[in-house]
């Protein structure tokens, strides 16, 4: 029986799982979405603009009466159909 070093044992025990990629989410003006706001409030909103001047795109949404917010995509839970 041959002696296997610690690095070979670590390599042999490594789990080779492949993570699924998150589907690309794209939004357009007029889409209905559910948004989690910074205060913990969850609201149904309408996308009024898609802002792409930074690395991560942001959505300008309107909800309620005369209320707007600029949110990141991670704050949008699911598009409304």
Q: How would you write 32-46 as a 3-class SS string?
A: EEEEECCCCCEEEEE
Cα 38 to chain centroid distance, Å, stands at: 15
Q: What are the angstrom distances between the C-alpha of 67 and each of 9, 19, 36?
A: 58, 38, 14
The residue with greater pLDDT, 17 or 27, is 27
A 10 A CB-CB count for 71 gives 20
CATH architecture of 22-80: Roll (2.30)
pLDDT in tens, 18-34: 555 566 678 889 999 99
pLDDT in tens, 46-62: 999 999 887 888 999 99
**Whole-model pTM?**
0.65
Domain range annotation of the chain: 22-80
């Amino acid at each position: 029986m041959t002696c296997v070093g610690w690095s070979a044992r670590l390599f042999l025990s490594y789990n080779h799982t492949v993570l699924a990629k998150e589907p690309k989410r794209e939004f357009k003006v007029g889409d209905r979405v559910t948004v989690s706001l910074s205060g913990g409030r969850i609201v149904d909103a309408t996308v009024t603009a898609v802002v792409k001047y930074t690395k991560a795109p942001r959505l300008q949404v309107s909800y309620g009466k005369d209320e707007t917010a600029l949110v990141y995509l991670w704050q949008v839970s699911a598009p409304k159909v």
